[in-house]
Amino acid sequence: MGNETSTAVEPMTGLRESKKRETRQLISDQATRLFIAQGFEETTIAEIAVAARVAKKTVTNYFPRKEDMALDHQEEFVGSLAHTVATRGAGESALTAMRHAFETAVAAQNPVAGFAGPDFARMIDDSPTLSVCLRSLHDRREEALTDALAQATGSATADISPRTAAALLGAVHRVLFRRIQELTLAGRTNDDIAQAVADEAARAFDMLEPALGDYAVA
């Protein structure tokens, strides 16, 4: 009897979670469509609720901040560099791991690396709120990277070495992210951008090699 109840509950729980994910994605998609069409600052929560066919309170339950609807892969972005350090291969430095991860992201034209398309890039560039939010995400990503480097080297998080290394590595990623945005806004295709940024990224990472080539080797 107990097993039958458990079996019955599990599909219901899975169905509810699936429905929640669908609703969240629907709200995010409709919000982004409106932000692109009429501007982030100009779009209201009420308009998003109407477009998604949900109550206004439902929108705010899923997204307490309006900018979270536009930048809805925040945790993946914030944790990306730290994850690269944590999963680097034996004998691989943090710098080498990040170089390889960025090369892979560019080759795949990954949106988390900045390949989000002209409409999305323009939406962020035109919005002071989203621009500030993006800078905050870069800051949070650097903080997470500091923690990962401290753990990888057995250092205290407050130690200057992991903080400096994270600042240098984070700065290169900020520059390259912004470069992808600039080329996107200039009307370049993703294929052209990937080719240009791959060459520029190689030069940027080479500049860090003397300082970080042997740092945080697994």
Across the range 182-194, mean pLDDT stands at: 97
Instruction: Identify which of 123, 120, 121, 122 has the alpha carbon closest to the alpha carbon of residue 40.
Output: 123
pLDDT single digits (tens) 69-105: 999 789 999 999 999 999 999 999 999 999 999 999 9
Contact 183, 122 (CB under 8 A): no
Q: Is 13 a residue whose pLDDT tops 80?
A: no
Which of the listed residues 66, 94, 120 is the one where a domain comes to its end? 66
Residue 22 binned pLDDT confidence (cut-offs 50, 70, 90): very high
Q: Is 160 a residue whose pLDDT tops 60?
A: yes
Range of the domain at 129: 74-212
Q: Is 10 a residue whose pLDDT tops 90?
A: no
Contact 108, 118 (CB under 8 A): no
Task: Look up the CATH number of the domain holding residue 53.
Answer: 1.10.10.60
Q: Is 7 a residue whose pLDDT tops 70?
A: no
Residue 108 and residue 61 share a domain: no
Contact 212, 93 (CB under 8 A): yes
Residue 28 and residue 55 share a domain: yes
pLDDT single digits (tens) 194-215: 999 999 999 999 999 999 999 9
Residue 217 lies in a domain: no
Kindly state the tokens that stand for 102. 């960025």
- pLDDT higher at 56 or 6: 56
Amino acid at 125: D
Residue 141 lies in a domain: yes
Residue 46 lies in a domain: yes
Give me the helices (H) in 39-127, please.
45-52, 56-62, 67-70, 74-86, 94-108, 118-126
Which of the listed residues 31, 66, 101 is the one where a domain comes to its end? 66
Residue 8 binned pLDDT confidence (cut-offs 50, 70, 90): low
Residue 218 lies in a domain: no
Q: Which of helix, strand or coil describes residue 9?
A: helix
Angle at 60 between CA 37 and CA 17, to 5 degrees: 100
Which of the listed residues 66, 85, 114 is the one where a domain comes to its end? 66
Residue 102 lies in a domain: yes
Task: Look up the CATH number of the domain holding residue 207.
Answer: 1.10.357.10
Number of independent structural domains in the chain: 2
pLDDT at 1: 44
Looking at residue 52, the DSSP 8-state letter turns out to be: H
Amino acid at 86: A
The tokens 């080297």 sit on which residue? 153
Q: Is 15 a residue whose pLDDT tops 90?
A: no
Across the range 112-120, mean pLDDT stands at: 94
- pLDDT higher at 166 or 10: 166
pTM of the model: 0.88
Q: Is 149 a residue whose pLDDT tops 70?
A: yes
Across the range 107-131, mean pLDDT stands at: 95
Q: Which of helix, strand or coil describes residue 78?
A: helix
